[in-house]
């Protein structure tokens, strides 16, 4: 063992190290347990060796050779700073070198051979020596100002987040939904893909009237499930709990509300995690590439199954807003009204770039294994990083400035490479909490489908593609949205008008919550949606925000206030 290696703490954890564990350490001929490391700079090593030499001279002065011991100083890192120093004793007994951490309150010892000593506390036997040895136990070793302290060896990155600010109620849904299975071959738009059958999971609230004309389909974002609201089958709050229900924005006392899990997802609908009946194993990346048109077609297979020829309205947000738009374009005779919130008519390069980075995080995780990780190691690191990137696009700088500012996790902690600021801790928490509740392959497939979306594809212009939408439309955008910037909703509303649709309402919100506004702003989004769904439609064109809120305010009950 090289003499220049650094000295590390060798206190055995509970239970005592096994012989195999002990073999990770080596005892030199000088009875000092060392381990190879580059954690200390040469200046620190020299300082420690100088202190060790002083201690050894004091202890061994006048003692017989066979009773001499070799003491050395070991530093324990916490963050970037040396906070403790420990004295180690190595005694040559029975051919094995025993090492004691004498600074610990309950010291344990272990041998580098097969024998283990009993617990001993050597502090009572430590000789009292003058400076600098005694100073070691009183205060950390001091280095000249400006000297590099060495590499950080400990990263206590804990996701400590203050319970402030609203958050979406996303969860892993395993119960409470029904599943419709279409036994017909399902042909997909891209790559000549085909599935022998597909499943569509869904939940419903309210009652379908005799005319079967009061059905509203609520279409979710990328990572949400069919659980928009709590029910008898699943009492946990849904992702749109305050927006769907009796007297709420989507009033279940008036409408029969359906919320499906998106095709390609992982909460009951067919997706990469579904079992391929030909192999008996999950599809993984053998699942065909999907498009928003495919997802829309799957929705209308479900409506056929439920016996609903025409929807009263299709209401969607984020990905769901793109699907509601495509529903009205692909099935214009089957959609009575359209609400598209924080969505777009064609994906912009900035949004594509954000989603590309999320996919890249997952695909470079070795555990992703080209999409075949089921029943194996899960690509949690990649999924966590992907969600942290996504979270940046879901909220807004103004909210974070107000909510977190430059606040630190703890003013008492020294600066390290771990999260220092509350915003860092928030991202860490979001990534950790989401990393195991959604299937990574579903994220890859659905985000790719979003990137590929362009309602004007196959037409001479965006307006021509929009001309298929014949029903009254409400488009809602948020000024602070990073993922779907407000100009995209303006573009959608203008293109619809330019295509000849005279019943287009555009509602622009000024909210701190960015893209997540559709999940959190009951007064803004909820009032607008309720007013649009329950107001007789006319040739309104683009109307003002204040007029729309006034109309909505007249229809909202006490349970869904508008401030």
Q: For residue 199, what are its two tokens?
A: 């499943």
498 is catalytic: no
What token pair was written down for 227? 């659980």
Choose the catalytic residue: 230, 451, 515, 521: 515
- Per DSSP, the residues of 120-149 read --GGGGPPP--TTHHHHHHSPPP--TT---
* Alpha-helix runs per DSSP H in 368-411: 380-394, 397-403
Cβ of 441: how many Cβ atoms within 10 Å?
Answer: 25
109 is catalytic: no
Residue tagged active-site, from 109, 270, 318, 330? 318
CA atoms within 13 A on the CB side of 156: 10
Contact 7, 32 (CB under 8 A): yes
CA distances from 39 to 1, 8, 147, 419, 555 (A): 16, 9, 14, 21, 68
Q: Residue 154 has which token pair? A: 């400990």
Q: Is 327 a catalytic residue?
A: no
DSSP letter at 35 equals -
- Dist. CA 396–CA 398, nearest whole Å: 6
Nearest alpha-carbon partner for 237 in 250, 247, 228: 228
Task: Please list, in sequence order, all residues whose beta carbon lies within 8 angstroms of the beta carbon of residue 254, skipping any fewer than 6 positions away.
Answer: 206, 214, 534
Q: Give CA–CA dist 542/498, Å, rounded.
A: 12
Among candidates 349, 307, 314, which has minimal Cα distance to 329? 314
Of 101, 199, 294, 481, the catalytic one is: 481
Write the secondary structure of 520-541 as one string of H (helix), E (strand) and C (coil).
HCHHHHHHHHHHHHHCCCCCCC
The Cα–Cα gap between 516 and 482 comes to 10
Report which of 340, 346, 342 is spatially closest to residue 478, judged by C-alpha positions. 342
Residue 20 burial (10 A CB sphere; 0-12, 13-18, 19+): exposed
Active site residues: 318, 481, 515
């Amino acid at each position: 063992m090289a003499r220049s290696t650094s000295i590390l703490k060798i206190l055995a954890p509970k239970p005592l190290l096994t012989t195999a564990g002990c073999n990770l350490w080596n005892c030199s001929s000088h009875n000092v347990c060392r381990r190879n490391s580059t954690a200390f700079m040469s200046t620190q090593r020299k300082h420690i060796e100088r202190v060790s030499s002083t201690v050894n001279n004091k202890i061994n002065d006048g003692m017989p050779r066979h009773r001499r011991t070799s003491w050395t100083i070991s530093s324990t890192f916490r963050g970037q700073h040396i906070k403790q120093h420990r004295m180690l004793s190595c005694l040559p007994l029975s051919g094995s070198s025993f090492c004691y951490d004498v600074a610990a309150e309950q010291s344990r010892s272990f041998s580098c051979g097969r024998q283990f000593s009993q617990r001993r506390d050597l502090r009572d036997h430590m000789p009292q020596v003058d400076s600098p040895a005694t100073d070691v136990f009183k205060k950390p070793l001091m280095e000249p100002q400006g000297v590099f302290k060495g590499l950080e060896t400990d990263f206590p990155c804990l996701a400590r987040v203050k319970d402030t600010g609203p958050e979406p109620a996303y969860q892993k849904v395993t119960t409470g939904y029904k599943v419709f299975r279409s036994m017909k071959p399902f042909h997909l738009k891209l790559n000549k893909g085909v599935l022998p059958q597909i499943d569509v999971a869904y939940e419903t609230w309210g009652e379908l009237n005799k005319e079967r004309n009061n059905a509203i389909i609520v279409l979710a974002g990328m990572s949400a499930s069919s659980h928009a609201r709590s029910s008898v089958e699943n009492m946990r709050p849904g992702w749109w709990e305050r927006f769907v229900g009796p007297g709420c924005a989507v009033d279940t006392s008036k409408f029969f509300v359906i919320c499906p899990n998106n095709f390609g997802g992982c909460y009951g609908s067919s997706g990469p995690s579904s079992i391929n009946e030909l192999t008996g194993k999950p599809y993984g990346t053998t699942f065909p590439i999907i498009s928003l048109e495919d997802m829309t077609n799957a929705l209308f297979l479900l409506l056929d199954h439920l016996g609903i020829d025409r929807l009263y309205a299709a209401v969607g947000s984020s990905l769901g807003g793109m699907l509601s738009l495509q529903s009205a374009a692909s099935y214009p005779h089957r959609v009575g009204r359209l609400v598209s919130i924080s969505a777009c008519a064609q994906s912009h390069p900035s949004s594509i770039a954000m989603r590309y980075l999320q996919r890249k995080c997952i695909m470079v995780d070795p555990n992703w294994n080209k999409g075949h990780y089921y029943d194996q190691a899960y690509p949690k690191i990649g999924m966590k990083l992907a969600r942290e990137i996504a979270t940046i696009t879901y909220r807004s700088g103004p909210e974070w400035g107000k909510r977190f500012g430059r606040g630190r996790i703890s003013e008492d902690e020294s600066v390290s490479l771990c999260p220092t600021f509350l915003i860092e801790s928030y991202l860490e928490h979001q990534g950790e909490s989401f990393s195991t509740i959604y299937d990574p392959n579903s994220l890859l497939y659905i985000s790719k489908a979003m990137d590929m979306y362009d309602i004007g594809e196959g037409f001479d212009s965006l307006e021509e593609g929009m001309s298929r939408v014949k029903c009254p439309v409400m488009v809602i955008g948020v000024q602070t949205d990073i993922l779907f910037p407000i100009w995209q909703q303006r573009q959608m509303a203008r293109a619809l008008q330019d295509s000849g649709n005279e019943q287009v309402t555009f509602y622009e919100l000024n909210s701190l919550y960015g893209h997540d506004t559709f999940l959190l702003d009951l007064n803004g989004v909820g009032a607008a949606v309720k007013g649009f769904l329950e107001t007789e439609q006319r040739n309104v064109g683009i109307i003002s925000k204040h007029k729309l809120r006034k109309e909505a305010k007249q229809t909202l009950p006490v349970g869904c206030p508008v401030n």
